Chain A
């Protein structure tokens, strides 16, 4: 059984999500919280494997919550859920350490597959997020440590994703396995995470 906790401020939505998880095979709901402030202490003390986090929370935002959570419990996987596909917010959440995001309207049909994929080490990245990542690294310039910059291969993969290519298409074009593409994308997320002092992302988003 995999453990999962929900952080969602809308009571009705929270209950519906809880029902959905409880009815799913292989998952155990370990808690639900209405705010980031209430969730943080509990999540830090008894971290579940996965946290389902709303982006828009009253008080501390879901993005800030991911940021703090990943600092104290780096191994926890966070899946952001959002009503609207706001690229800027989603990008900020991924830069703060979230492992993926799902539109709420896709929750009923795709949540369980998505969770399984993330547990298996999948690193999803859609074309518009890839664009944001390219721009972000471009604006940030060179890192202090060379290892924090994107490699040529990683840039190639981002380019492909931004042009709408699928992982398997990129894999066959570059003559590597889909798993390797996944690993590269995971590394890109990790570098994004390193380069993201929250102010850097905010400044970047404001400059657009």
Chain B
């Protein structure tokens, strides 16, 4: 959604910027929890390994005291600029029969809408219209108008909220949301403290959620003037069979806002590995205009000879099994040459993309030939009468398949093109499909097709994947013929992955000491998550939990 900004306003902001000199400064740098300073050359030098970087940013507004938004990027690590300052938002959440969130979306508000006035009555409203996909099992829709993080202050108004179903034929005009114009108030005489029918207040300072009267009648608003508190308007309404899962609803509302993002922000990056990066941060006007205030810092992370400890040994191991010692020697030389080239390159991301490509093209094609030739040999042998040779070629063929599958996993894990939650969801689906194909276990998925745009580093992604694989392997080994279910959802700052089966289960005591389960626990612990296993007569449930770092929450482009 884009809106024309008002040119005169931009001039005022730009003028103010030059007169008073606003600035943005990096106040403090924390690396893996300890404060660090750049070296004499102005560059932040870090030892090999992956690091967590926290930059504390302060905006100096200058004499004009005009609030500014802040965007930042770590060039070489990501390609986009992220909004790091606070946003207000309208959030939509779908709930199932038990009240568990099945999916949803957040529509953020940054800066201000054109023509914002100090009081609501004659403030011009804009209309936003957004598609909303209904996830499976959704029974109710919850809408939350929120003032966001505590330090964010400002004002946000909402009116004429409608939800309809454009795909539903006859129901195209029917509004699925009751009291959409906020006309029904049981206690209208309460003024700003009134509560519209079906809505309630929330947050640490609920009284900042108010009722506004304006040029279009009454509406709900949040007037947040407390940098230490937040408020919400919340409403939950049943969908009552009016919509079908997979259908796209149209959510439409009138709104106006002015969001003051505050002056102190924290930008966090996880899993920053070897490479040469530049952290850049800039303050922009609420309307999106450039203020000229920006700063930057170069960050260099030294590189290990072996960039990922699990990577080459796994490749070498797989290849040894197939090609034996001589092949290993040749491969080793090639690896050495590649490693030298690796060391010469700067961006870790580029390295990873290239490795994935190399593995794909070179190694994959050769292994495939082995597999195909084996199949041909098998066919020729079966014409004659040599059962022993037939068994051997079958084994060889199976081995080649396994190696290609193992490399498939590595290629997926290292390719930076896969660094999102959605890619993890897609990959888990197809992995489970293939892993359990032809077995006695049927797998069902509860993975929403639309997942939040959450960046997931290779390490987190790979550990989560290996834990799921371990769980599926356990089902294959212990559960007997049964149905398994793989569920993934990300809500309230936590990523949940549950693998359930309704098989025979396995004794908890024996199970928990098993290698597989210990591996799962370790993998989740490595990335700061948790793993719990419950097993009973009616099956086993493996629950993986990973807290989503706040810095990787999705940043949707602002409408201005």
> Chain A: residues with CB nearer than 8 A to chain B?
10, 12-13, 16-17, 19-20, 23, 56, 83-85, 87-88, 104-105, 107-109, 126-128, 130-132, 134-135, 138, 141-142, 149, 152, 155-156, 158-159, 162-165, 208
Contacts and interface: CB of A to CB of B under 8 A. Distances in A.
Given A20-B372, A138-B133, A164-B444, A208 B449 contact: no
Contacts of B401: 105
A19 B369 CA distance: 12
A164 B445 contact: yes
Contacts of B558: none
A158 B411 CA distance: 28
12 contacts: A13-B372, A17-B372, A20-B375, A23-B379, A83-B404, A84-B360, A128-B427, A131-B425, A131-B447, A152-B167, A158-B246, A165-B444
Contacts of A156: 244, 246
Interface in B418-456: 420, 422-423, 425-427, 429-430, 432-434, 442-447, 449-450, 453
Interface string B355-370: 0000011001110110
B417 interface: yes
B454 to A, nearest CB: 11
Contacts of A126: 430, 433
B371 A19 contact: no
B365 A13 contact: yes
Contact of B375 (A108, A149, A163): A108
Taking chain B's interface residues, is the majority helix, strand, or loop, or is none over half, making it mixed? helix
A134 B429 contact: no
Contacts of A158: 246
A173 to B, nearest CB: 13
Given A152-B167, A155-B244, A128 B429 contact: yes
B106 to A, nearest CB: 16
- Closest 9 pairs between A and B when the two form their complex, measured CB to CB: A108-B375, A16-B372, A134-B449, A83-B364, A128-B430, A155-B246, A128-B429, A159-B246, A164-B444
A152 B171 CA distance: 13
B302 interface: no
B426 A13 contact: no
Nearest to A127: B429
Contact of B449 (A87, A131, A165): A131
Interface residues of B, number: 55
Contacts of A149: 167
Nearest to A23: B379
B207 interface: no
A19 B364 CA distance: 20
B433 A127 contact: yes
A127 B375 contact: no
Nearest to B485: A164
Given A84-B411, A128-B426, A155-B247, 10 more contacts: A13-B372, A20-B376, A23-B376, A85-B408, A108-B378, A128-B429, A128-B433, A159-B245, A162-B445, A163-B445
A163 B136 contact: yes
Contacts of B408: 84-85
Contacts of B166: 142
Taking chain A's interface residues, is the majority helix, strand, or loop, or is none over half, making it mixed? helix
B449 A135 contact: yes
Nearest to A87: B426
A73 B360 CA distance: 30
A132 B447 CA distance: 12
Nearest to B407: A84
A118 B369 CA distance: 25
A34 to B, nearest CB: 13
A20 B68 CA distance: 67
A175 to B, nearest CB: 16
Contacts of B422: 135, 208
B365 to A, nearest CB: 5
A151 to B, nearest CB: 9
A84 B361 CA distance: 10
Nearest to A154: B246
A127 B368 contact: no
A16 to B, nearest CB: 4
Nearest to A206: B417
Contact of A88 (B372, B407, B417): B417
Contacts of A85: 408, 430, 434
A138 B249 CA distance: 10
Contacts of A130: 449
B229 interface: no
Contact of B365 (A10, A87, A134): A10
Contact of B376 (A16, A131, A134, A164): A16
A135 B420 CA distance: 15
Contacts of A23: 376, 379
